[in-house]
Every structure is written in C-alpha cells, then in structure tokens.
Structure 1
Amino acid sequence: MLLRSATFVLLMLSALSLSAGDWVSLIGTDSLDGWTKVGGEASYSLSDGVITGKTGPGKNTFLTKGPYGDFELEFEVKCDQELNSGVQIRSHLYPKPTPQESKPDRIREQGEMYGYQCEITGKTNGANGCSGNFWDEGRRTKWLDETVNAEEKQAVYKPGQWNQFRIVAKGDRIQSFVNGVPVADFTDDRDAEGVIGLQVHSIKKGTGPYQVSWRNIRLREL
C-alpha cells in the first residue's frame, strides 16, 4: 500500500510538472527586441534589467509582447505617485475605427489597445481604482471584478516603491496578487489569448514628465 501511495504521488508531481512550462524572462539583456510600442508617444528604455516608460504627448502608450493564452505572469513595478499605469493581458489592437462598446459615440482609432488591464497606480485616491483589479481598457471600460474592496486592497500597494505582482490566466478565470495578497478573481470569456502590454498612461498637458519601471518580468505558459 505504501509503495502504491508513493507511486501515485510521483505520478501526480510528474503531471503537475508537465502542466506548466518553464519560467521565461521577458526582459532581454541589452535591448527591447521582441517588444513593440503602440499608441501614444511615451518612450521606453532598458537599463540594468529594468524597463522604464516615460510619459510623452498623446494618448496611452503600450509596450507589447505576445500573444499568450494560459499563463502565469510575475513582475515588479515602481510607479511615480502622480502617474497611473497598468499591464494589459490577452489584449488586442483595433483593426479599424470601431465604436467603443460602453460608449458607441466614441470611435476607437485603428491601432488602439483594448482588453484586460491589471491596474497599477501610484495614485492612492480610491476614485482611481485599485491596484490589482482589472479594467476593460478601450472596450467595456469597467472594473471586471466588482467584488473587490478597493480601499482595503489598495492599502496593500506601496506608493513610490517596488511592488510585486502575480497574474494567473487559465481558461476563463483570471486572478491577481499584489505583494502576495489576493486581489482580483473573476471569470470572463471575451479573450482566450492576446498580447501583454506595459502601459504608460497619458497625462495632462503641462504636467510631468513621470515614469514607471518594471523589472523581473517573467512568464510561464500553463
């Protein structure tokens, strides 16, 4: 009986190891090869393993990579407290001018980003949302986990410091963790795969420049 139990455990461990791929770093050693910038005129640079996005004129800007489907994504991020940011997952670009689903009289331009965005915010005002919750960028423009207590969860985020994020997307379930604390956990069947996008949010004219930095970005496919 003991031998059978041990054999069963080994088989289960083998199955688990086959169910997830190896961790892969998404940051190159000396270049941003494999990443594509879309949207506005923010700039991105890579130095000592850190990607830094700096605000510029125009609309929201994204540094994209992918597509990816089911995966676990981890990264650390530090955002200026005056700036709002986020990371898109399973996201897409509009192929042509398209009415926004939540506001049909607003036309989204060809090449604009839409899809699931994990919120990262240097702002602590609850009206600006909650770090770790998901916003449907450029489409339904709403929070996708309406059960999240924004004030409680935002307290987990450390303004102006490095914060660790973990996102798990498997099937129609998406979860997030900020500094080891669960934040969002919801199901949605709109997007099974798409790109990852590091967002530099637009700012008001005459303000800034501000910046947001990412490091230790790694992903394993599930």
Structure 2
Amino acid sequence: MKNTSMLTALAVFAAGISFCVAAEEGWVSLFDGKNLDGWTQKNGTATYRVEDGTIVGKTTPGSPNSFLCTDKEYGDFELMFEVKVADELNSGVQIRSQTKDGTNEGRVNGPQVEIEASGPNGAESGYIYGEACGGWMTPEDKLIPHKHFKDGEWNKYRVLAVGPNIQTWINGAQ
C-alpha cells in the first residue's frame, strides 16, 4: 500500500528552509526559490515569504501553530533540506501528515521531524514527534538530547520515509 501525505514546514519562529525530495525519476524540487506557488498556509497566523531564495517564516505572538503545506501528496520519499533557526526555537517539518476537516481550523496532524536549537544541554532535533496525535513517536529510551543541530548555523537534514519506517540525519549524524 502506498502511503501519501503532504509535506509541511511548521514555522514557529523565523526559519529559512530549502527543500527537495527524491523520486523514482530523480530529485524533485519542492520549492523553486522564487515564490510560494504550490504551498498553502494552514492554521495560525504566521507569515511566510521568500527571501534570497529561502522560505522565511515568522510567528505571530499568541497564534496557534502555523503550517506551510505543499499542495501535492507524496508516497515513500527521501527529503533533504537545510534550516537555520533562531536560538531556543522549537519547530519541525511535518511528514505524512494530514489536516482533519473541521478540526482545529486546518491544524496538521501526524509525524513531525523535530527542529530545535541545541542550547547548552543538547536537544531532540531529528526525532519524530506526533503533532496533535499523542506526543513523541520516537521511543522514549531513544530520546537522548544531542548536539547534532548547530545553533546559529545552517543545518542539513535528511529524512528517509519508506513504508512505516522513518529515519533522520542532521549534518550527517543519525
């Protein structure tokens, strides 16, 4: 059975993101670096814009989570993106997620690849969180804070989603 879902960039503060996804024919760019055609903002009141070929998201104080979603659906995939975030940020990229019509005004539900500044003690970046569906999907014994995410720098993420399995890497570390 082929699973399909939309990919979603969840911007919880200012974040720059560039995306591409592997397909059978080769890599498919999800973002052209020029505009947000093919993307839809859902829930919340964050704003998104293109600046120097990068998607920049900015939250609005008091707003619920905001989501920038692709309009297309994807099955099994390999996603590579780079992200740079403000210190102490908590954000993520939703994968295989859906909106539930009439629920939370477009809130996206499903697996989220965590994006979180490391701070002095490390963080849970790269682990899988169930947005609006039960909390951490990464087993508790594997939720070990680490410093793979480099605060104040561009970080390279790789996400491999095949069948029910999701693997993640940050800056080459799994």
Length-normalised TM-score, structure 2: 0.79
Query: What SS does structure 1 have at the residue aligned with 2:111?
Result: strand
1:111 and 2:106 are equivalent in the alignment: yes
User: Does 1:44 find its partner at 2:48?
Assistant: yes
Higher relative contact order (CA 8 A, sep 6+): 1
- Residues 1:110 and 1:54: Cα distance change in structure 2 (over 3 Å): closer
Equivalence for 1:137: 131
User: Counterpart of 1:67?
Assistant: 73
1:124 is aligned to 2:129: no
Contact 2:43 2:105 in 1 (8 A): no
- 2:140 & 2:47 partners in 1: Cα distance? 33
1:53 aligns with 2:48: no
> As a proportion of its length, which structure holds more helix?
1
Cα 1:27–1:54 change in 2 (3 A) is same
1:110–1:162 distance in 2 versus 1, CA, 3 Å: same
* Structure 1 position 125, deviation (Å): 6.8
Conservation of the 8 A alpha-carbon contact between 1:79 and 1:160: yes
Residue deviations 1:86-118, cap 9 Å, x none?
A: 000010111134xxxxxxxxxxx2421110000
Unaligned 5+ segments in structure 1 are 1-18, 98-108, 183-222
Alignment match, 1:27: 31
Q: Distance in 2 between matches of 1:174 and 1:62?
A: 21
Q: 1:123 to 1:147 in 2, by over 3 A?
A: same
Percent sequence identity is: 41
Please report the RMSD computed on the Cα atoms of aligned residues, expressed in angstroms. Answer: 1.9
Q: Which residue of 1 aligns with 2:18?
A: none
1:206 matched residue in structure 2? none
- In the other structure, the counterpart of 2:152 is 160
The 1:42–1:26 alpha-carbon spacing in structure 2 relative to 1, beyond 3 Å, is same
- How far apart in 2 are the matches of 1:143 and 1:124? 23
Deviation at 1:129, TM superposition (A): 5.1
Report deviation, 1:64. Answer: 0.4
CA separation of 1:145 and 1:20: change in aligned 2, threshold 3 A: farther
Judged with a 3 Å threshold, the aligned counterparts in structure 2 of structure 1 residues 89 and 136 are, in CA distance, closer, same or farther, namely same
Q: Please list, as runs of the form range in 1=range in 2, the aligned pairs for 1:190-201 lying within 5 A after superposition.
A: none
Q: What letter is aligned with 1:142?
A: W
| 1:173-214: CA deviation from partner (whole Å, max 9, x where unpaired) | 1100011011xxxxxxxxxxxxxxxxxxxxxxxxxxxxxxxx
TM-superposed deviation, 1:145: 3.4
* Cα-to-partner distance string for 1:115-138 (whole Å, 9 max, x where unaligned): 000000125376x95000000000
Larger Rg: 1
- Contact residue 33 and residue 54 of structure 2 kept, 8 A: no
**1:96 to 2:102 alignment:** yes
Displacement of 1:81 after TM fit?
0.7
Displacement of 1:144 in angstroms is 2.5
Under a length normalisation based on structure 1, what TM-score does the superposition of the two structures give? 0.63
Query: Would the alpha carbon gap of residues 36 and 124 (structure 1) be closer, same or farther in structure 2, given more than 3 Å must change?
Result: same
Structure-1 residue corresponding to 2:15: none
